[in-house]
């Protein structure tokens, strides 16, 4: 059975895609068959086959299974803005139940691991009354939180984790994404999050997609041989 993980971030540009790409490549090297899905992507270029988003293309190129773009990114929106606004401009609606159905119907049964990447942060709106948090809550996917280590990340990480805990969502752990220009007092901020968050730091992502795996390796079971 395919192991699913939902990757959320503490903010836009926290490093969700960079982590997904790095982890997919690591899993590939360990013999896993991998797939990635970015259900909703805002901002992309029009092609003869529709709108294609850079993040979704990066995920598609990093996974080991060869699948069509539409199976990776079913909702590709043109404008690089909040998804619910971009969808409204295109006369489309985003609903939690529909997104869950889209994802589950696109998971390839051959995949040992499938990473599902969110859009923006944990509470990215889908419509006037639902957010991405409602998708994950209803689907009951285990979550990994990517923390972009920059000013403001402590507040964002604590708020995100508090809501995950309140909703009773299985949170596997968190990832520290070290930005290209590391934040001031980086080691002290890492130490604080290590002690304050109720789940372990699974890995540290450095610039150039270099991943120090750490406890992340314990998150998946060995692929069937």
Q: Which positions are catalytic?
A: 38
Q: Hey, what are 202's tokens?
A: 């699974």
Mapped onto helix, strand or coil, the DSSP state of residue 93 is coil
Distances in Å between the Cα of 180 and the Cα atoms of 150, 207, 209 are: 10, 6, 11
Distance CA 90, CA 44 (A): 14
- Report H helices in the chain: 16-29, 54-62, 69-72, 83-89, 96-106, 132-139, 153-166, 186-196
Mapped onto helix, strand or coil, the DSSP state of residue 120 is strand
């Amino acid at each position: 059975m395919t192991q699913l993980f939902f990757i959320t971030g503490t903010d836009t540009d926290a490093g969700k895609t960079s982590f997904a790409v790095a982890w997919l490549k690591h899993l590939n090297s360990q013999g896993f068959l991998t797939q990635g899905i970015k259900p909703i992507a805002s901002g992309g270029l029009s092609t003869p086959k529709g709108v294609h988003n850079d993040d979704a293309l990066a995920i598609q190129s990093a996974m080991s299974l060869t699948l069509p773009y539409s199976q990776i990114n079913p909702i590709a929106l043109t404008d690089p803005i909040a998804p619910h606004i971009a969808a409204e401009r295109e006369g489309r609606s985003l609903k939690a139940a529909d997104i869950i159905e889209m994802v589950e119907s696109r998971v390839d049964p051959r995949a040992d691991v499938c990473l599902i990447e969110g859009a923006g942060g944990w509470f990215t709106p889908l419509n006037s009354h639902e957010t991405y948090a409602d998708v994950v809550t209803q689907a009951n996917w285990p979550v990994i939180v990517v923390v972009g280590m920059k000013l403001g990340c402590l507040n964002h990480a604590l708020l995100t984790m508090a809501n995950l805990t309140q909703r009773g969502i299985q949170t596997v752990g968190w990832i520290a994404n070290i930005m290209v220009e590391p934040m001031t007092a980086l080691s002290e901020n890492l130490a604080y999050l290590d002690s304050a968050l109720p789940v372990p730091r699974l890995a540290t992502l450095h610039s150039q997609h270099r991943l120090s795996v750490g406890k992340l390796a314990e998150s998946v079971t060995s692929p069937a041989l």
